[in-house]
Amino acid sequence: MAPEPNPATPPGAPALSESRLSRRILAAWLPWWSTERLARRHPGARTRPFVTAADSRGRQIIDAANPRATQVGLTPGMPLADARAIVPEVVVRPADRAEDALALKRLARWADRFTPRVMPDGVDTIFLDIAGCTRLFGGEEALIAALRTALEDFGLTVRLALADTPGAAWALAHYAPDDPAVVPSGSEPDGLRDALAQLPVAALRLSADVAEALISFGLDRICKLSAIEPVELIRRFGTEPVRRLQQALGQVDEPIVPLRPLPPREARRAFADPISSRADIHAAVDGLLGDLCMQLGRSGEGVRLLHLVCHRVDGDRRTLTIGTSRPLRRRKSLMGLFAEKLALVEPGFGIDEIVLAADVVETIDELQTDWSGEGAGGYRAADEEELADLLDRLGNRFGFGRIGRPMPQQSWLPERAARRRRPLAAMDSASAIAPDPPSATATDPAAATRWPQDRRRPLRLLSPPEAVEVATLEPAGPLFGFRHRGRFHQLRAVEGPERLECEWWREDAPRRDYYLAEDEAGNRYWLYRQGVQDPEAAPRWFLHGLFA
């Protein structure tokens, strides 16, 4: 028997589907996502104006700004030079829309604790279909409150809206005055139309040119748009306004496509007879590493963080964690890292299950070597692997945060001429020191990343430089000696000056005149004089480095 028509359905309109009525779409909009996710790694960005910048037609423009930046007039689309003129202390980081979307995808995977049907939308919104899940949290209001609390604990600003369609939920989250904005479950198109009536047409997720065209004709609100026949809208503005309006009202289905679950990156082994000897534990972990490395090999990935959990028969468990300096899937190397810690495992009355899980994985870029074992850069791959193995052992023993590698950087000032990077991070042209002459860099691109060979520099730099008292016959005369930490050093040879200045676009460091000095005991020092250009003030002297 055919179902009776729904009397509430207007003639000619498609009937409301059972699936649409059963959906409850929660939209979580993160208005400051681009800056707030970066602010977690830059603490000062929370209390100061903070923007991200992107290239546009040969110049830098603001791509996103945090609330403090918008309060002082820094808005997206503004040239970065104008923003620096308005707020010189603004914190700037490069914009990365791809990374914004990837981080939002990771956040969406985290949100699957509220519902398995989660989908990221764009670079700042997450859709959650919470139908059937609210009873686990005590109702819709409780689930919304729990989601808000969790996101705010991450330092994120969020606006929430709940409706039966993704389009309506998105529109209310972005433009409704209430937060959260909730449309009752099972609302007919007329109910959704009333909830959206006073919102601007941009709330329908229209492209910028279509929204501007509608506004130019006076159709600035959804209520005005819905009052016009669809045929007339399509004839003048195309199908986009009609399709988006029908999606928001539930007349055209818009599915929520959940994220595909990540494949399990773990290996486990249960034992009928609990094991307790060191040899058995080592053999079991070695076998699990073989299984896990085989899984990672199929997906082209390597592990960066591994957890080993040993479940004992008494209900207790022991956990070991190792990290690596680069993506790794070689069983022998990983087993070497675990071998140093397996002695800490207390088996008790025996271990009946061991689980090995890869918590952090990355794609491995395979290195192509020639017959001699050398890579494209001229170094031996075996040497690189030995260095990486050493760094892994040191990192797991002392902490990876304590291991770094100095890399050259473009600056003539010594304290800015190097920066600390990950030990295995490859040098790039952006980390070069002061540029060589064009003839050198044009023929040898690697020359831009080399330390200077034609200037003598001390082995040890003092940070910060220490003030000294100097002995001269006159303010600009030759240097005979200096006093440092209460001890006077008589000089027998002085070379200089070598003038060093900061970059032309920075004005926070005055010019310096450096001198290489040697005392009567044969010790050599790197001194500099500051303030020579100011005739009204006496120059100051500092000790900046010590030669071996």
Output the pLDDT for position 402.
75
In the numeric block, the tokens 């207790």 are attached to 316
Q: Please tell me the least confidently modeled range out of 39-43, 194-198, 218-222.
A: 39-43
**380 SS3 class:** strand
Mean pLDDT of 410-418: 77
Domain assignment present for 69: no
* Count of domains observed in the chain: 4
Tens-digit pLDDT profile for residues 378-395: 444 555 667 777 777 777
Contact 34, 50 (CB under 8 A): no
Residue of 143, 134, 116 lying closest to 28 (CA atoms):
143
Q: Which residue in the block uniquely carries the two structure tokens 């249960």?
A: 270
Calpha distance 418→195 (Å, rounded): 58
3-state secondary structure of 217: coil
At 247, list the tokens: 């999606």
Mean pLDDT of the chain: 81
Contact 407/419 with Cβ under 8 angstroms? yes
179 & 304 share domain = no
Contact, 118 vs 103, CB < 8 A?
A: no
Whether residue 309 lies inside any domain: the answer is: yes
Same domain, 131 and 229: yes
Give Cβ neighbours of residue 484 (< 8 Å, ≥ 6 apart): 466, 468, 543
Determine the 3-state secondary structure of 254 from DSSP.
coil
pLDDT-derived band at 243, boundaries 50, 70, 90: very high
- The whole-number average pLDDT for the span 386-414 is 75
Q: Which two tokens stand for residue 536?
A: 């009204």
Give the largest CA-CA distance in the chain.
Answer: 114
Alpha carbon distances (Å) from 111 to 105, 189, 357:
10, 29, 21
Classify strands 50-56 and 59-65 as parallel, antiparallel or unpaired: antiparallel
pLDDT confidence of residue 245: 92
* Three-class secondary structure assignment of 273-288: EEECCHHHHHHHHHHH
- Give the contacts of 421 (CB within 8 A, at least 6 positions apart): 404, 405, 406, 407, 431
DSSP-based three-state secondary structure for 21? helix
- Parallel, antiparallel, or unpaired: how do β-strands 181-182 and 159-163 relate? parallel
pLDDT over 50 (residue 427): no
395 domain-assigned: no
The average pLDDT across 145-170 equals 92
| Any domain includes 71 | no
Q: Which residues contact 34 (CB under 8 A, 6 or more apart)?
A: 52, 63, 64, 95, 100, 123, 124
Q: Give the number of other CB atoms < 10 A from CB of residue 320.
A: 19
- Asked if residue 95 is part of any domain, the answer here is no
Asked whether residue 278 falls in the same domain as residue 356, the answer is yes
Percent of the residues in the chain that have a pLDDT greater than 90, as a whole number: 32
Secondary structure letter of residue 473 according to DSSP: S
The owner of tokens 């399709």 is 243
Q: What's the pLDDT score for residue 415?
A: 79
Is residue 158 scored above 70 in pLDDT? Answer: yes
377 versus 411: which is more confidently predicted?
411
The DSSP 8-state label assigned to residue 404 in this structure reads: -
Alpha carbon distance 393, 387 (integer Å)? 10
Q: What is the β-pairing status of strands 91-94 and 50-56? A: parallel
CATH number at 130 reads 3.30.70
> Residue 347 belongs to a domain with what CATH number?
3.30.1490.100
Query: Does any domain span residue 379?
Result: no
Q: What's the domain range around 444?
A: 405-449
Residue that finishes a domain, picked among 384, 418, 449: 449
Q: 519 has which bridge partners?
A: 491
Same domain, 414 and 438: yes
Could you report the per-residue pLDDT of 159-176, keeping only the tens digit for each? 999 999 999 999 999 999
Q: Is residue 74 part of a domain?
A: no
329 shares a domain with 197: no
Domain termination site, one of 249, 281, 298: 249
> Is residue 117 located within the same domain as residue 159?
yes
Q: What are phi and psi of 472, to 5 degrees?
A: -140, 155
pLDDT at 382: 55
* Cβ–Cβ under 8 Å, residues 503 and 524: no
- Domain check: are 106 and 245 in the same one? yes
Same domain, 234 and 150: yes
Cα–Cα dist 492/476, whole Å: 18
Domain end call among 205, 221, 249 = 249
Residue 219 domain-assigned?
yes
Q: What is the pLDDT of residues 81-102, one digit of tens each?
A: 999 999 988 888 888 888 888 8
Verify that 415 and 290 share a domain, yes or no.
no
Q: In this structure, are 443 and 471 located in the same domain?
A: no
Runs of H (alpha helix) within 154-207: 166-175, 189-196
Please write the tens of the pLDDT for every residue from 471-513: 886 766 678 899 999 899 999 999 888 888 877 666 556 788 8
Contact between 97 and 53 under an 8 Å Cβ cutoff? The reply is: no
Residues 347 and 412 in one domain: no
Angle at 240 between CA 236 and CA 244, to 5 degrees: 130
- pLDDT value at 517 more than 90: yes
Amino acid at site 255: P
- Pair (417, 443) in one structural domain: yes
Res. 450: pLDDT tops 80: no
**Quick one: DSSP state of residue 200?**
B
Name the DSSP class of 502. Answer: -
Whole-angstrom Cα distance, residue 27 to residue 448?
49
